Every structure is written in structure tokens, then in C-alpha cells.
């Protein structure tokens, strides 16, 4: 295992797709003034760079080599964080269906996950890190000071996603979103490498019938109870 690069505190926010991890993580990072790691964006960046190089997700070896040389940067701006791969801003492509599909295949390869450990751990810098993902509390930062695992029913997550996409003017079918989410959950939970499960010492928050603000408030209460944050 790669050594941790720093002893700065870490708060791990894990959970399945569409549960609001990104929004909760960004709110915590903003209010604490800590760094933010979107580990899903790391897997998406590998998938995108692989596509650009004509690499499929079948062979681990070239993907592992790519992880070692990944030209990936996050740039903070007033509207959020932009992702740069090979020097170009790739925010829109990163969320495309094609990249999502490849990212999920790439993320199931044990050697790729291992090759990305050091990169993810390098985000652990003072004053602290909010780490958003699936295995932040179980594998990447097992010594995190606080581990929160967010859940919500697949129906509720499909409803939230439906609303988001409709608001963006996209044409979507709720039943299709629901079956995609249920299928992805099953794959993530059952994969042999870093399955999406709560760490033994994680606090589980079921947000099915909670507003985003209420989830953030609950998470902040746990942060304060641990004595983490601005001193």
C-alpha cells in the first residue's frame, strides 16, 4: 500500500450515485475552508484520457501506465471546480454518457484503483480534505477522522436526477433512470474490488426524506462533534 502523504485531517463522504455526495462535500469544504477531492472525477479523467489515446477498458497494463502519467488538474473558480486533462478543460465531456460508461469499467480494474491511490492521497493537505467517493473511508483514507456514508432509496435518487435533467431541458424517462441506478448500485455493491459499502466506523445518513440543507446540517453536526474544522 502507498504511504499516506500527510497527516492533515480527512472527512470521507461515500455513497452510491446520485445521493448528493458532491453537494454535501462542496458545502463542507466551503464552510471549513478545506480541500476537496472528487474521486469520481479522477476515474472519469482516466476514462477520458484513455478514449483520447484509443485505449479500451479491456487491458489493465496501458491503463495503469496512463494513471502514472495522468496530466490532471482541478482549477477552482467562482462557479465551482473545473477539471483539466492534458491541459484542456473537459467539464462537459467528463459527464458524457460515453465517459461515464468507460469510467465505470475502468474503476472495476483492481490495478487501476491501486495505481490511483497515491494521486488521491496527495490531496491530503493542511488544513484538511473532504474526500468524495465510494471507497474513501474503506480503502483510500481508512484513517479518516470522520466517515459519512450517504444513502437514499433508488426511487428517490431517480426522482432527484429526473428533476435535475428536466430542469436542464433534457428529455428523460423516469423508469429508465430508475433501472439504470438500480443496475449501477448492484454492480458497485457486488464488485470484488472496493465495493460501495460503508466502513465499519462510518456514520450512515439516509437522506431519502431529507432536504439537502438538512443533510448538510446533520453532517456539520458530526464534524463539530468530532472537534474538526476552523479553530
Chain residues in the site for ligand DC (CB under 6 A): 17, 39-40, 43-44, 103-104, 107, 133-135
Shortest distance (Å) from residue 218 CB to ligand DC? 21
Residue 155: partners with Cβ closer than 8 Å, 6 or more residues away: 178
Residue 123: partners with Cβ closer than 8 Å, 6 or more residues away: 35, 37, 129, 131
Cβ closest to ligand DC, residue 135 vs residue 156: 135
State residue 76 phi and psi, 5-degree precision. Answer: -80, 140
Cβ closest to ligand DC, residue 51 vs residue 229: 51
Shortest distance (Å) from residue 36 CB to ligand DC? 13
Per-residue burial over 65-100, b if 16 or more Cβ lie within 10 Å, else e, is ebbeebebebeeeeeeeebebeeeebeebbeeeebb
Cβ closest to ligand DC, residue 20 vs residue 40: 40
Give the C-alpha distances (Å, rounded to integers) separating 134 from 18, 62, 145, 197: 12, 24, 17, 8
75 and 59 in contact (C-beta within 8 Å)?
Answer: no
Shortest distance (Å) from residue 228 CB to ligand DC? 21
Shortest distance (Å) from residue 87 CB to ligand DC? 21
Cβ-closest position to ligand DC: 40
Cβ closest to ligand DC, residue 180 vs residue 206: 180
Cβ closest to ligand DC, residue 134 vs residue 228: 134
Shortest distance (Å) from residue 47 CB to ligand DC? 8
Amino acid at each position: 500500500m502507498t504511504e499516506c502523504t500527510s497527516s492533515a485531517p480527512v472527512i470521507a463522504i461515500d455513497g452510491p450515485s446520485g445521493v448528493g455526495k458532491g453537494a454535501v462535500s462542496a458545502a463542507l469544504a466551503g464552510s471549513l475552508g478545506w480541500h476537496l477531492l472528487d474521486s469520481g472525477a479522477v476515474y472519469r479523467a482516466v476514462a477520458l484520457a484513455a478514449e483520447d489515446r484509443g485505449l479500451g477498458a479491456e487491458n489493465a497494463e496501458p491503463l495503469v501506465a496512463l494513471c502514472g502519467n495522468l496530466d490532471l488538474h482541478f482549477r477552482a473558480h467562482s462557479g465551482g471546480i473545473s477539471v483539466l486533462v492534458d491541459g484542456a478543460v473537459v467539464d462537459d465531456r467528463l459527464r458524457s454518457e460515453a465517459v461515464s460508461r468507460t469510467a465505470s469499467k475502468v474503476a472495476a480494474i483492481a490495478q487501476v484503483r491501486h495505481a490511483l491511490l497515491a494521486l488521491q492521497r496527495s490531496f491530503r493537505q493542511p488544513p484538511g480534505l473532504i474526500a468524495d467517493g465510494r471507497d474513501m473511508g474503506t480503502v483510500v483514507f481508512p484513517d479518516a477522522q470522520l466517515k459519512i456514508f450517504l444513502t437514499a432509496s433508488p426511487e428517490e435518487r431517480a426522482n432527484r436526477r429526473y428533476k435535475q435533467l428536466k430542469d436542464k431541458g433534457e428529455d428523460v424517462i423516469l423508469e429508465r433512470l430508475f433501472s439504470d441506478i438500480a443496475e449501477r448500485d448492484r454492480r458497485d455493491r457486488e464488485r470484488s474490488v472496493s465495493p460501495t459499502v460503508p466502513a465499519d466506523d462510518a456514520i450512515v445518513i439516509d437522506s431519502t426524506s431529507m432536504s439537502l440543507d438538512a443533510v448538510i446540517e446533520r453532517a456539520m453536526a458530526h464534524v463539530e462533534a468530532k472537534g474538526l474544522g476552523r479553530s
